[in-house]
Amino acid sequence: MRAVVVGPEGEPALDDVPEPDGPGQLVRVVACGLCGSDVEKLDRTHSGLVLGHEVVAELDDGRRVALVHHASCGACERCLAGHESICERFSAPTIRPGGFAERVHAQGWVDLPEDWPDWRGTMAEPLACVLRGATRLPRGRVLIVGNGFIGRLFGAVLARRGNDVFAVDVDPRRAGPPPDGPVQAAVLCGRGGVDTGLSAVEPGGTVLVFADAGEISAADVYRRELTVVGTRSAAPPYMPEAVALLHELEVPEPVVLPLERFAEGLELHRRRDALKVVFTP
């Protein structure tokens, strides 16, 4: 089957690979979104890997589903404390080889509405990540630092629940309204945003680290008694919630390209000319 494979120098290329095997069910991929974490893995250390985890697939019975990316046990101390993504079982992949392929073996999924375009279903997994992160944020004024696709999802979710949301970005095309004073919390969604987030948060506030935004000054945390919280990925219980919420959220329509044009879509992402790129086999 065809798949986009990370090459020896980190360059992605369409290639023929063996059909996947292993636990789960073989399903046909119909769409897969490009995530920033996929782009981060385009290097020599990930040579031979097939990336992609924001996957919509078709089952044997014709149902379209959003695949679950990684699964925690749900019963250990870490899971029960809300830290599902550091559960010892979480690192095992549940989508093999990866979503930028024609077929994958999947171990979990959530049904999608029949009338949705395929690209909309790819947003269930990133929205589930955001919903999990949002549980760690207080009510009140929140600044989104890095207003790309994930930042937009955070803004939509937080505004819906009643937060006053502000957004900044190094790209003026993506920047939203800046705060007119201190905020109770900042969400770091982009590289290099740590200083912006820390300077905007009032003493006693919260900083949610959703991306590698830079080094956080311990002196700032100590002197201003800030709460710094890290969150990454989703957990299976958030997937149905994400699908249900997608009915109500306004989400930006992505650029949709075939796998043959992966390099073009990657360049659109890197140039920040597309807020989101989705590929179809």
What pLDDT, on the 0 to 100 scale, is given for residue 109? 97
| Tokens (6 digits) for 144 | 């989104």
What pLDDT, on the 0 to 100 scale, is given for residue 235? 86
Kindly report, residue by residue over 67-121, the tens digit of the pLDDT.
Answer: 999 999 999 999 999 999 999 999 888 999 999 999 999 999 999 999 999 999 9
Kindly report, residue by residue over 125-179, the tens digit of the pLDDT.
Answer: 999 999 999 999 999 999 999 999 999 999 999 999 999 999 999 999 999 888 9
Which domains can be identified in the chain, with CATH numbers? 2-129+233-280 (3.90.180.10), 137-230 (3.40.50.720)
Average pLDDT, integer, range 49-60 = 97
Rounded to the nearest angstrom, the gap between the alpha carbon of residue 5 and the centroid of all alpha carbons in its chain is: 20
What pLDDT, on the 0 to 100 scale, is given for residue 247? 87
Kindly report, residue by residue over 230-281, the tens digit of the pLDDT.
Answer: 998 998 889 999 999 998 998 989 999 999 999 999 999 999 999 999 999 9
What pLDDT, on the 0 to 100 scale, is given for residue 15? 96
Average pLDDT, integer, range 17-42 = 94
Kindly report, residue by residue over 168-219, the tens digit of the pLDDT.
Answer: 999 999 998 889 999 999 999 988 889 999 999 999 999 999 998 888 989 9
CB atoms within 10 A of CB 223: 10
Q: Is the pLDDT of residue 21 over 90?
A: no
Cβ atoms of residues 148 and 168 within 8 Å: no
Residue located via tokens 């945003």: 193
Burial category of 162 from C-beta neighbours within 10 Å (exposed 0-12, middle 13-18, buried 19 and up): exposed
